[in-house]
C-alpha cells in the first residue's frame, strides 16, 4: 500500500506529475492516493522531494539468500540443426554482464544429436556448456524442456537466466519461472547491471512499444528474462576459446509429458521468417488488387527480405494471416521496414515501430504511418515500387 | 464441458496517448476494452459449449470497473462471470497474477479447459497462460490457432504456430490453451444477451474469499519491480522526401546506401 506522510507532504505535485496511472493527486494541499487505480509501481516514491511517500510492502514469501546464486545462464535454442541467432546474441551480451559481475557464462543446450553445437557455444562466449542430449528432447514440449531446465536451475543456482523471446522461449520459460517462484521479464530489448547492487536491469517495451520500462527482480533468484531476437549483437566466433562441456543425463521423472507432438510442419515461408528477417516489405490496402502484391514480393526477394501484411491485406485474402504484423499478429523489429500502401492504424504501428529504419510509401501525405517513419515517400505504390525495384537492380548490376 | 476463460481489461490502443515529457500514459479519455486476444479465447470457449454443452465461466482480475468486461462477456453468451478484485491484488506481476487466478480457478471447482488469449496488449508478456498452467499442474499449449475435440470428448488436437510453420499436438483435458486471433471470428452480442448481462449478478472475490496468502498476491507477492518508464520518441529522425516519384526513389536509395543496406 502506498502511504502519504501528511506531515512531510508539501503538496508540491511532483507525484501527480510522475504517476503513469493518475493514481495520486494533490487535494487541499496534500497528496491523495486512489488505491483502486494505484499499481504500486513506486515511481512517485523515488520522485518525492520531501520523502513523504512510502511503499509499504510486506516481506515476500520467498526470502532467499541472494549471494548463494551465481553465474549467468543462456538457454540455447537449436532449431532445425542450427543454433538460433538469438542464442549467439545472448552469449555476447552475457560476456558483458559477466565482466561486471565477475561471473561465469554457462550455456544450457537441450535437444537430440546436438553435441556438436557445444563447441560453437564456447566459441561465442560460453565458459561452460550443460548439454542434455536425449531422444525425448527431439521435439519440443513445454513440460519436458521446462522440467529439465528448472531442475538444473534449482541444483546449480544461477544468478541470471536469459533465453530468446522466440515462440519456444515465450512458451516454456514462464513455466520455469513459475516453478522456481521467481520473476521473469518478457521480450527485453536492453540488459544492464546496476552498479550499486549488481541487480540486473531489464528494459522492455510495453503497450506495443509506446512505453519502455526498466524492471528489476530484487529479492528473488534467479533473475530471469527473455530477450527479443535481433536486438543484441552477436560477436564473431573465437575458435581458440576454451570451455568445459558437461553432459547431463535427465532423470526419468523429468521426461514425462501429457502433450504429444503428432506432426511438425515447416511452411514454405516467403523468404526468412518474419521475426528473424533483417528486411521486411509490408503490403497494405494501397495495393488495391491481389496481383499488385507481386511487387512487394519482388522487392522483398531482391533485398533478401520477407513479406509482411496488414490486417486489411489478410482480410482481402492477398496474404496469409501468419504474415500479419501488428497487435493481433506478429511484432517485428527488423533493420529495414518498408511499409507499402499501409495507412498506419495504431494496431499495425505497435507491431513494427521498433524497427531500425522505417520507410513508408503512401498516396496520402497525411497517413498516420508517416508519424513513425524514418523516410517517407508520397505516391502510389504501383508507381513507386517498380521504379524502386529497377533502381535497386541497377545498383546491384542486375 | 467446464470451461474457464481468463480475460483482462486493457486500455484501447486507439485512445491511448503518451506523455513524452513524463514518460507515461495519458489515462484521461482512455477507453477500457476486453483484451483483443481474450475475445478469441472466449469465442473458442463458447464454440465448444455450443457443440458439447457445459458451462463457460469468465474470470478477470482487476479494479472494480473490470466488471464491465465481464458483463460484455456475458452478453456474448458466457454463463458466469467472476471478478477478482481487492486492493491487495494491486501491483501484481505475472507471478502474483498466476497465483491469484489459480486460487480462484481452484475455488470454481473441476475444470476441463482453461482458455487465455496469447497475451494482453498492454503488458505484452504472454506469461500468464503458461504460468497459470504451471500453478494448476495442467498441460498447456501456447499460440494455438486451431482446436478440435476428439470423439472421446476428452482428447483435443491443436495447431501451434511457431516461426517456421506449425505443430499439431494432442493432449488430454484438463488442459490450458492460449489462443491467437486467427483461431476464430468472435460473435457479436445478441439483444437478449445484452439484457441478461445487464441483470446478471457478478460475484466479487477478494484475497480472503479465494483463500490466498496475503504474502503471495499483489505487489507483495510479486518478484519484479518497475524502476522507471519512459516514452520513446521517433520525431527527430523523420524525413519526408519531396518531388517526383523518380526523385523520391533516388533519395531513398541514397539513404539506404549510406546506411549500408544497399
**Domains observed in chain A:** 2-55 (3.30.70.20), 66-254 (3.40.50.620), 274-395 (3.40.50.1220)
Residues A193-231: b if buried by 16+ CB within 10 A, e if exposed? beeeeebbbbbbbbbbbbbbbbbbbebbbbbbbbbbbbb
Give me the residue from B121, B122, B127 closest to A174, CB to CB: B127
B122 domain residue, yes or no: yes
pLDDT digits (tens, 9 = 90+) for B41-93: 999 999 999 999 999 999 999 999 999 999 999 999 999 999 999 999 999 99
Residues B30 and B109 in one domain: yes
Residues B200 and B242 in one domain: no
pLDDT at site A94: 98
Among the listed ranges A54-68, A266-280, B20-34, which one has the minimum average pLDDT value? Answer: A54-68
Residues B25 and B133 in one domain: yes
**Å between B110 CA and nearest CA of chain A:** 18
Domain total for chain B? 2
Which is more confidently placed, B233 or B113?
B113
CB contact under 8 A, B98 and A178: yes
- If you measure CA to CA, which chain B residue comes closest to A167? B162
B203 domain residue, yes or no: yes
Residues B44 and B14 in one domain: yes
Residues B43 and B109 in one domain: yes
pLDDT digits (tens, 9 = 90+) for A71-93: 999 999 998 788 999 999 999 99
pLDDT digits (tens, 9 = 90+) for B204-228: 999 999 999 999 999 999 999 999 8
Residues B74 and B117 in one domain: yes
pLDDT at site B261: 86
Q: How far apart are CA A189 and CA A23, in angstroms?
A: 28
| Unique residue bearing C-alpha cell 460473435 | B187
Extract the C-alpha cell encoding B54.
Answer: 457445459
Interface ipTM > 0.85: yes
What range does the domain containing B257 cover? 232-262
What CATH number has the domain bearing residue B27?
3.40.50.620
Residue B234 has pLDDT above 80, yes or no: no
Which is more confidently placed, A374 or B26?
A374
Q: How far apart are CA B224 and CA B180, in angstroms?
A: 27
**Å between A123 CA and nearest CA of chain B:** 26
B36 domain residue, yes or no: yes
Residues B207 and B242 in one domain: no
Q: How confident is the model at residue A122 (pLDDT cuts 50, 70, 90)?
A: very high
B77 domain residue, yes or no: yes
Residues B91 and B131 in one domain: yes
- Centre a 10 Å sphere on the Cβ of residue A239 and count the other Cβ atoms it contains: 9
Residues B31 and B130 in one domain: yes
B227 domain residue, yes or no: no
pLDDT digits (tens, 9 = 90+) for A200-227: 999 998 887 778 899 999 999 999 999 9
pLDDT at site A331: 85
B75 domain residue, yes or no: yes
Mean pLDDT of A2-29: 88
CB contact under 8 A, A395 and B13: no
pLDDT at site B238: 82
Task: Give yes or no for a contact between A315 and A347, defined as CB atoms under 8 angstroms apart.
Answer: no
Residue A64 has pLDDT above 80, yes or no: no
**Is A43's Cβ below 8 Å from some Cβ in B?**
yes
**Is A22's Cβ below 8 Å from some Cβ in B?**
yes
Residue B36 has pLDDT above 50, yes or no: yes
Residues 240-299 of A with CB under 8 A from B: 257-267, 269, 273-276, 279
Cβ-based contacts of A19 with chain B (< 8 Å): 24
Cβ-based contacts of A353 with chain B (< 8 Å): 234
Q: How confident is the model at residue A288 (pLDDT cuts 50, 70, 90)?
A: very high
Q: How confident is the model at residue A268 (pLDDT cuts 50, 70, 90)?
A: low
Residues B172 and B79 in one domain: yes
Mean pLDDT of B5-24: 85
Task: Give yes or no for a contact between A369 and A313, defined as CB atoms under 8 angstroms apart.
Answer: no
Cβ-based contacts of B61 with chain A (< 8 Å): none
pLDDT digits (tens, 9 = 90+) for A308-336: 999 999 999 999 888 999 888 888 889 99
Residues B247 and B212 in one domain: no
CB contact under 8 A, A265 and B215: no
Residues A99-127: b if buried by 16+ CB within 10 A, e if exposed? eebebbbbbbbbbeebeebbbbbbbbbbb
Residue A151 has pLDDT above 50, yes or no: yes
Give me the residue from A171, A206, A321 closest to B130, CB to CB: A171
B193 domain residue, yes or no: yes
pLDDT at site B237: 67
Residues B209 and B253 in one domain: no
Cβ-based contacts of A220 with chain B (< 8 Å): 223
Task: Give yes or no for a contact between A103 and A114, defined as CB atoms under 8 angstroms apart.
Answer: no
pLDDT digits (tens, 9 = 90+) for A33-52: 988 778 777 778 877 888 89
Residue A293 has pLDDT above 90, yes or no: yes
pLDDT at site A61: 42
| Unique residue bearing C-alpha cell 535481433 | A230
pLDDT at site B158: 98
- Which pTM does this prediction carry? 0.85
- ω into A222 cis (within 30 of 0): yes
Extract the C-alpha cell encoding A375.
Answer: 523516410
B129 domain residue, yes or no: yes
Q: How confident is the model at residue A62 (pLDDT cuts 50, 70, 90)?
A: very low
Q: How confident is the model at residue A58 (pLDDT cuts 50, 70, 90)?
A: low
Amino acid at each position: 500500500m502506498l502511504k502519504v506522510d501528511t506531515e512531510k507532504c508539501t503538496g508540491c505535485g511532483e507525484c501527480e506529475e510522475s504517476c503513469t496511472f493518475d493514481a495520486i493527486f494533490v487535494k487541499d494541499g496534500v497528496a491523495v492516493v486512489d488505491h483502486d487505480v494505484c499499481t504500486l509501481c513506486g515511481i512517485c516514491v523515488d520522485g518525492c522531494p520531501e520523502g513523504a511517500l512510502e511503499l509499504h510492502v510486506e516481506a515476500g514469501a520467498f526470502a532467499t539468500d541472494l549471494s548463494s546464486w551465481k553465474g549467468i545462464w543462456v538457454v540455447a535454442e537449436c532449431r532445425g540443426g542450427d543454433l538460433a541467432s538469438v542464442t549467439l546474441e545472448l552469449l555476447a551480451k552475457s560476456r558483458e554482464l559477466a565482466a561486471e559481475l565477475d561471473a561465469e557464462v554457462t550455456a544450457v543446450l537441450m535437444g537430440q544429436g546436438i553435441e556438436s553445437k557445444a563447441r560453437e557455444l564456447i566459441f561465442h562466449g560460453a565458459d561452460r556448456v550443460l548439454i542434455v542430449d536425449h531422444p525425448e528432447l527431439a521435439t519440443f514440449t513445454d513440460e519436458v524442456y521446462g522440467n529439465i531446465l528448472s531442475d538444473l536451475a534449482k541444483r546449480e543456482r544461477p544468478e541470471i537466466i536469459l533465453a530468446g523471446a522466440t515462440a519456444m522461449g515465450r512458451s516454456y520459460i514462464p513455466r520455469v519461472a513459475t516453478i522456481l517462484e521467481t520473476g521473469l521479464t518478457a521480450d527485453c530489448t536492453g540488459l544492464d547491471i546496476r552498479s550499486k547492487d549488481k541487480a540486473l536491469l531489464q528494459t522492455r517495451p510495453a503497450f506495443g512499444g509506446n512505453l519502455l520500462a526498466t524492471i528489476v527482480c530484487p529479492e528473488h533468484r534467479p533473475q530471469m528474462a527473455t530477450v527479443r531476437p535481433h536486438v543484441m549483437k552477436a560477436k564473431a566466433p573465437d575458435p581458440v576459446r576454451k570451455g568445459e562441456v558437461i553432459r547431463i543425463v535427465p532423470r526419468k521423472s523429468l521426461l514425462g509429458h501429457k502433450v504429444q507432438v503428432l506432426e511438425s510442419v515447416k511452411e514454405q515461408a516467403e523468404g526468412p521468417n518474419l521475426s528473424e528477417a533483417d528486411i521486411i516489405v509490408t503490403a497494405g490496402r494501397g495495393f488495391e488488387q491481389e496481383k499488385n502484391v507481386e511487387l512487394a514480393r519482388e522487392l522483398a526477394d531482391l533485398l533478401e527480405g520477407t513479406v509482411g501484411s496488414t490486417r486489411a491485406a489478410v482480410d482481402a485474402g492477398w496474404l496469409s494471416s501468419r504474415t500479419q504484423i501488428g497487435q493481433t499478429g506478429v511484432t517485428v523489429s527488423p533493420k529495414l521496414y518498408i511499409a507499402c500502401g499501409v495507412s498506419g492504424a495504431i494496431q499495425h504501428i505497435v507491431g513494427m515501430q521498433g524497427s531500425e529504419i522505417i520507410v513508408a510509401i503512401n498516396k496520402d501525405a497525411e497517413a498516420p504511418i508517416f508519424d513513425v517513419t524514418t523516410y517517407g515517400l508520397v505516391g502510389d505504390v504501383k508507381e513507386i515500387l517498380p521504379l524502386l525495384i529497377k533502381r535497386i537492380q541497377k545498383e546491384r548490376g542486375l | 464441458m467446464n470451461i474457464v476463460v481468463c480475460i483482462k481489461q486493457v486500455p484501447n490502443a486507439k485512445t491511448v496517448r503518451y506523455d513524452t515529457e513524463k514518460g507515461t500514459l495519458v489515462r484521461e479519455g482512455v477507453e477500457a476494452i476486453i483484451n483483443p486476444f481474450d475475445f478469441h479465447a472466449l469465442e473458442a470457449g463458447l464454440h465448444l459449449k455450443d457443440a458439447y454443452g457445459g458451462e463457460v465461466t469468465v474470470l478477470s482480475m482487476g479494479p472494480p470497473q473490470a466488471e464491465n468486461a465481464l458483463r460484455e462477456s456475458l452478453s456474448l453468451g458466457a454463463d458466469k462471470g467472476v471478478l477478482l478484485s481487492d486492493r491487495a491484488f494491486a501491483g501484481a506481476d505475472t507471478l502474483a497474477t498466476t497465483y491469484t487466478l489459480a486460487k480462484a480457478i481452484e475455488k470454481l471447482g473441476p475444470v476441463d479447459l482453461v482458455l487465455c488469449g496469447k497475451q494482453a496488449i498492454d503488458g505484452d508478456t504472454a506469461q500468464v497462460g503458461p504460468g497459470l498452467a504451471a500453478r494448476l499442474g495442467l498441460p498447456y499449449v501456447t499460440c494455438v490457432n486451431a482446436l478440435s475435440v476428439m470423439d472421446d470428448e476428452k482428447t483435443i488436437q491443436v495447431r501451434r504456430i511457431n516461426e517456421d510453420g506449425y505443430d499439431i499436438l494432442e493432449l488430454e483435458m484438463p488442459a490450458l490453451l492460449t489462443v491467437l486471433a486467427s483461431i476464430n471470428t468472435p460473435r457479436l452480442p445478441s439483444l437478449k444477451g445484452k439484457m441478461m448481462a445487464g441483470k446478471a449478478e457478478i460475484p466479487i472475490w477478494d484475497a480472503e474469499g479465494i483463500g490466498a496468502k496475503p504474502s503471495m498476491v499483489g505487489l507483495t507477492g510479486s518478484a519484479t519491480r518497475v524502476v522507471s518508464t519512459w516514452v520513446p520518441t521517433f520525431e527527430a529522425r523523420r524525413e519526408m522526401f519531396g518531388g517526383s516519384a523518380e526523385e523520391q526513389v533516388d533519395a531513398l536509395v541514397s539513404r539506404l546506401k549510406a546506411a549500408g543496406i544497399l
